[in-house]
Amino acid sequence: MTSDRWRKAYRDLVYRLPAFVGKARLAICGLATCVDAYVRLDAAERLFNAETGTPQGKLAKELLRRAAAGIGGEFRMDWLAGGTWVEKNLQISGWGLGGTGAQAAQTLATLGAPTLMSLQDRGARQLSVTHPDIRVAGNSGLVRCGDLPILEAAKPAHYIFEFTEGIKIGSVVPRRSTRTIVLFADDPLDDDPDFVRESIAAAATAGAGILCGFNGVADQELEMAVAEALTLSKAWKDRGLKTIHLELGGYSTANGRDFVLKSFIRNITSLGMSYSELNGLCENSQDPMAKAYELAETYGLSRLCVHADTWALVITRDDPKCELEALMMGCLLASTRAAVGHISVPQRLPDSTRFFKPPLPVSKQCDGWSIVCCPAPYLATPVATIGLGDTFLAGTLLVLSAESAMPRPIADSSNIPYNN
């Protein structure tokens, strides 16, 4: 397909977005919510001037290594005073809502779609970055975040270091725009028993549920956290929730990642990850696409979704045309966020976007599976790279949730370049 046809298809999707929002069912978004602090890596001189061997020096070395290699992801550093040092010595360019499920909820609420989010920390800083229309659980039902009283409790922030393709950082010139998330303390899942109760009650009519956040849990607490989340997700399933999505995320150890994946894989219907996370699952130079197919086939998933800088794909047993629209909606919302620097409602296709040929055809059939792939509107120098995967996830679930609530497609999709 030509770039012009994809450009037209995405522009048409902008105009059809309100129809999806109007038909969206509740998204249940868990299980870890936090505050993110944003730092521009090219403006962190005090970090790079730190002495070798100090915690600051070790942090600088790791961040420079990642910038040089174009690696984003997330890692935990054993430095309890790290957050305090960053806030006192570096320029925080902004604060935002953190957590995959939380940022998906923020995206959907910004669009006007209904959400229910887990939320332990209800302090001033957390609530200041949370969309007021997101619903959370109270003692006797659901409450708008904008109507919550401010409490004293707080969870540790996450620190996100951004770097942009071509903008020099010390002696390094990054060849890819992305970000690295740094945790200086363990970040357990939200302790929100009201969310457990209300999410189970809502599961009968909800459109989708999101599980995530296990990569921030301490190793010694991971088994218990996974067991509790498994109990919750099984209750969602028993109540009739059709789409239960696990977003894999970046882990500091392969053992932790594999434990989470093997624990949930047979209890979820949908699995999502970035292309770099998919590569991390491959050993002995195994083909990443073959690995994705193997995961979907071996564990009987309904769908497995992968997002990259310039494309997205899904391996699915569901309607491939609906899945293509879901991929494109995710890409559109992520591209819009990259272009303006924050979650926003798309008004048009962002300027300066480019389309690259994806690694697979738009659609092909394989042993009862549909493999669907589309190019993403790509910006080489985005205003921000934070939360793009989470925003992509929100867009895919918006379409799947709306579609599942309707007896036929939302709108004429003839403009989507579905066939090769």
- Span 279-330, pLDDT tens digits: 988 876 678 888 888 888 888 889 999 999 999 999 999 999 999 999 999 9
Contacts of 177 (CB under 8 A, 6+ apart): 163, 164, 165, 380, 381, 382, 385
Helix (H, G, I), strand (E, B), or coil: what is residue 172?
A: strand
Per-residue model confidence (pLDDT) at position 415: 53
Residue with tokens 């296990």: 214
Res 11 pLDDT > 70:
yes
pLDDT score, position 413: 44
Res. 197: pLDDT tops 90: yes
pLDDT at position 412 over 60: no
What CATH number is given for 3-33+187-404 in this structure? 3.40.1190.20
For residue 1, what pLDDT is reported? 58
pLDDT of residue 248: 94
Consecutive H or E run containing 329: helix 320-340
Burial level of 237, CB count in 10 A (0-12/13-18/19+)? middle
Closest CA to 62 of 161, 157, 156, 178: 161
d(CA 92, CA 392): 25
Residue 212, pLDDT above cutoff 70:
yes
71-100 pLDDT, tens digit per residue, is: 888 889 999 999 999 999 999 999 999 999
pLDDT tens digit string along 243-256? 999 999 988 889 99
The angle formed by the CA atoms of residues 108, 113 and 118, to the nearest 5 degrees, is: 60
The whole-number average pLDDT for the span 255-283 is 92
Q: Which residues 6+ apart lie within 8 Å of 286 measured at CB?
A: none
Given this model, what pLDDT does residue 224 score? Answer: 97
Element (H, E) at 10: helix 3-23
The Cα 48–Cα 196 span in angstroms is 44
Q: Is 97 helix (H, G, I), strand (E, B) or coil?
A: strand
Burial tier of 377 (Cβ tally within 10 Å: 0-12, 13-18, 19+): buried
Give the mean model confidence (pLDDT) for residues 140-162: 92
Does the pLDDT at position 209 exceed 70? yes
Global confidence as pTM: 0.91
pLDDT in tens, 104-116: 999 999 999 999 9
Residue 404: predicted pLDDT? 58
pLDDT of the residue at 304: 96
Mean pLDDT, range 325-338, rounded to an integer? 97
Alpha-helical runs (H) found in 24-81: 45-48, 55-69
pLDDT at 106: 98
Question: For the residues 335-358, what does the mean pLDDT come to?
Answer: 95
DSSP code of residue 406: S
- DSSP string covering 340-398, please? HSS----SSPPTT-B----SS-SEEEETTEEEEEEE--B-SS-S--TTHHHHHHHHHHH
Distance CA 195, CA 203 (A): 12
pLDDT, mean of residues 349-360: 92
What's the token pair of residue 114? 């209904």
User: Is 282 or 395 the better-scoring residue by pLDDT?
Assistant: 395
